[in-house]
Chains A and B, each alone.
With several copies, the nearest count.
Chain A
Amino acid sequence: MTTPPLTRREEMAVVAARLLRPKERVLVGVGMPNLAANLAKRLHAPDLVLIYESGILDANPETLPLSIGDPVLVRDALATISMLDLFSNYLQTGWVDVGFLGGAQVDRRGNLNSTVIGPYDHPAVRLAGSGGAADIAACAQRLILMLPQDRRHFPARVDFVTSPGHPATGRRPDGRGPAWVVTDMGLYDFDSTGEMRLRALYRDETVEAVQAATGWPLAIHPHPTRVPPVTPEEYRALRALQQARGGPRR
């Protein structure tokens, strides 16, 4: 049996999973956040409460769902509730600890674009739009963002602010907003002024390479570290999750 190394994209999921704490309530977005949250639940945070904007409370999927409304998410969930109930009585009232989002562009304040590339009225690429992302960004206690890093995904200015990050004037006064950005080059937090800041690099990345992939002069933590390597346990959990993906239901 071969054991191929993780792709950088898979390593992102491991790094993001580590940011989730036991028992937290995570509103899980489409795509990579979904992989990362399900991974955390199989590692250090088995009591993680996975919430999906389709109205699924405390999902315990046997296999990795393709979408956020898949039957595998419903089968062993604690409950399905209406989206109105979820957004009004859980998200709006601050019961979601972590909003976990992907997107097409992020800027230095953590503003996230998932709406459009180019002008809104004459789009070069019309993307999917907010879904619940703008609501989640507004109301979750803290946000974890996941994007691949290059000048296209990290422009000086996002083409559209779908989900607002920290204001230009400083961190969000309510203590919420973007907390972490996980990319395929490094891990970022936000400093006391609400500016995105390099916190750790993957083993083979350099500050220079990261800066070159970023559309603005990047803030750097006084003591940036290296992302700890993927452990054998993390590796096995990720592979198991992916092999179950799309497989037949037991």
Chain B
Amino acid sequence: MQWLSAAEAVSEYVKDGQTLYLAGFTHLIPFALGHEIIRQRRRHLTLCRATPDLLYEHMIAGQVADQVVFSYAGNPGVGLLPVFRRAVEQGTIGIQEWTHFEMVARLAAGAAGLPFWPLNTLDNELTERRPRPRVQSPFTDDQVAVVPPLVPDVTLVHTHAADDAGNLYVDGLLGDIREAVLAGRQVVASVEQRLPAAQIRATRLTLLLPAFRVASVSVEPWGAHPSYVFGQYDRDTAFYRDWDERGRDESAVESWLDEFVYGLASRADYLQRQPPGRLSALREAAGQ
């Protein structure tokens, strides 16, 4: 486990052509690390996430991805993902599509080192297009559908805290995070803060992943903005709502990336560019 800046971590661990999983379901989405991947202009990535969310909007617009592996390409509570939608409708990006259950089952197989994961659901048009084999149970007459493992080259994750050893801790919504970090060949993390273990044990934070499975940790306050860190800051719903319009306009997306990603050296600069009072309001909304 190394303590690295986000720039160093991406430079060291994220390579062109890799399969990445940027974890987090609505909660704890690793925007700081994702933006760093855009800034360092990685190319030909396969980006996996149950919910591509605005992070993959940014990354698709930043042209880092050849393919998106996903299960729900919506803007949560708002509508669709305009950049993703445009790329798919124009055929400029490849997709591989699953249901949520299939996605997390694929991660679970990856996490456990198993060649498949069984599940008991119905076939549908997705499983007709992308056949989902069935396996015969040796114990009964049952046949069960199976999905292949998903083993990301790197899983990137943002969590509440790391202790001095680099153990990662979270609270609140787990979504797909646990399976995603367990499945990754390497885990690159950013955290809100670094805290002594004794201090962490006095809170409700629970272990996500032990340090021996973590490649690097970067301390990145607000590293999940505009998504949220439960108990630290709330979701920036205005940003998500605004994206519905901004994302439809290619040049607006470009200038947003220029202003908030390419034109900045680091996350600290990103935070300075936020509208006055916005971040403090999100802290207050989280009860801080």
Contacts and interface: CB of A to CB of B under 8 A. Distances in A.
Direct contact of A and B (CB under 8 A): yes
Interface of A: 23, 25, 30-31, 49, 53-58, 65-71, 74, 78-84, 87-89, 91-95, 115, 120, 122-135, 137-139, 160-164, 246, 248-249
A89 B172 contact: no
Given A25-B212, A89-B111, A93-B112, A249 B287 contact: yes
B228 interface: yes
Interface of B: 25-27, 50-51, 70-74, 76-78, 80-81, 84-85, 88-89, 91, 97-102, 104-105, 107-108, 111-114, 119-126, 129, 167, 172-179, 182, 197, 206-207, 210, 212-213, 228, 230, 234-235, 237, 240, 285-287
B126 A70 contact: no
Contacts of A55: 25, 173-175
A116 B73 CA distance: 11
Given A134-B99, A134-B124, A69 B27 contact: yes
Contact of A84 (B179, B206, B210, B213): B179
Nearest to A174: B122
A93 B212 CA distance: 14
Contacts of A74: 27, 172-173, 230
A139 B234 CA distance: 33
Contacts of B177: 82
B72 A130 contact: yes
Contact of B112 (A88, A128, A129): A88
A248 B287 CA distance: 11
Contacts of B167: 58, 78
Contacts of B287: 249
A83 B77 contact: no
Nearest to B182: A89
A37 B120 CA distance: 27
Given A58-B210, A129-B70, A71 B286 contact: yes
Contacts of B237: 66, 246
Contacts of A115: 97, 125-126
Contacts of B121: 92, 134-135, 138-139
Given A67-B76, A70-B77, A115-B126, 5 more contacts: A66-B78, A67-B235, A92-B114, A132-B99, A134-B99
Given A83-B176, A130-B72, A69 B99 contact: no
A76 B235 CA distance: 17
Given A53-B100, A83-B104, A69 B88 contact: no
A74 B285 CA distance: 14
A82 B174 contact: yes
Contact of A128 (B25, B80, B172, B230): B80
A160 B210 contact: no
B99 A81 contact: no
A249 B73 contact: no
Contact of B80 (A124, A127, A132): A127
B237 to A, nearest CB: 5
B187 to A, nearest CB: 12
A161 B125 CA distance: 5
